Amino acid sequence: MPSHKTLKSVSHNFGHSFVSLMNYMETDYFLGLLLTEMRKTGLNRLEVDILNNKSEPKELLTRKISKSIGYWTKWFPKLVEDSGSSMGFVKSAEMTIEFDLTLSRPYPHDNRFIENPYVCGIKIIDDNGKEYLKEQKGWWFPEVLDNKTKIKNWLQQWL
């Protein structure tokens, strides 16, 4: 029998997976791609309506970012059902990712990279109006380097 109780773990698992190393898109991890766009635009918050696969602001939605969001929102119903709950219980599901662009530091293991702190919040509201909120926090940096740096690093590995 489906349970409302497991929506708490769905909130945790969705957010944790979304910001993890499992979310890699062609050239960088999702958070690196998002942070790059945030630094370009000065916008520091992404909002995602998981059930309707709608995100804003549009200025942050590059092809890669949109593709990743689409993949994960498509997976959400399976996660809910596999957890022992039911999509019939889920009235809304939203995710926000916010970076603090005013706070940065060199990445401790490689000072070529500058990282910023982020908070990823997942909020699910069930058919009884109960909220299941989970936040993931950490620091992230874009890994894509300019072509000269990539070539130099590649050459150093092989020479």
Q: What pTM, to 2 d.p., does this model score? A: 0.88
Strands (E), 2-158: 24-25, 28-29, 45-49, 54-56, 90-99, 105-106, 114-126, 131-140
CB contact at 8 A, 115 and 137: no
> Which pLDDT belongs to residue 157?
56
Q: pLDDT for 70-119, tens place per residue?
A: 999 999 999 999 999 999 999 999 999 999 999 999 999 888 899 999 99
Span 14-50, pLDDT tens digits: 999 999 999 998 889 999 999 999 999 999 999 999 9
- β-bridge mates for residue 133, sequence order: 123
114 in helix, strand or coil?
strand
**Domains of the chain, residue spans:** 7-158
Give the type of residue at 154.
W
In three-state secondary structure terms, 140 is strand
**150: number of CA atoms within 13 Å, CB side?**
6
- What band does 151 get if pLDDT is binned at 50, 70 and 90? very low
Alpha-carbon distance of 121 to 92, in angstroms, equals 14
Q: Which of 2, 13, 37, 31 is nearest to 122 (CA)?
A: 13
